[in-house]
Amino acid sequence: MEQWFVEGVASYQFSEKIEFTPDLRISIKPEEVVFRPGLGMFYKFYIDDFQFVNQVKWQIDFDNHGNSDNAARYVIVINKQFNEKLIGSFLAGALYRWEDDFRGVELIRIGPGFTYIFNKRHSLNFNYFLSGEHNGQDFDWAGIPFIQLVINVNKD
């Protein structure tokens, strides 16, 4: 619990398969605060009972020390709905960072999860990720439990 994230995402459903998502995340860490605006696109399709969600995203991180870093990421999530209240998922993704002293894959993340659906607008996600973060020489690996409460707000 040494890092806290607050994130807001707007969503524009261009078509049944394509969605655009500008967002802003604030990361509060022990030694810094990072503001991260981003712009992403999702491409979604089904094969049998499985949903495949592909995300491509650009983001820039501004910290309270005056630094800024660009990154692009690709993530694929495979979902399977078991019943009206439970969805299982598996995620795999990578983040490519370019900054003054590093260019390359900075983050790799994979892992399973499940979502409990309260109603059409609210859900609770539980995931466990194996995460590799580049430290300048090689990758540091960690297991990350991730809990996310999703509250959707719309004009109705």
The string of pLDDT tens digits covering residues 82-115 is 999 999 999 999 999 988 778 899 999 999 999 9
The Cα–Cα gap between 64 and 78 comes to 36
The Cα–Cα gap between 153 and 2 comes to 28
Check residue 101 and give its pLDDT: 79
Exposure string over 128-155, b if 16+ CB within 10 A, otherwise e: ebebbebeeeeeeeeeeeeeeeeeeeee
The whole model's pTM is what? 0.82
| pLDDT, tens digit, 9 for 90 and up, residues 40-83 | 999 999 999 999 999 999 999 998 888 888 999 999 999 999 99
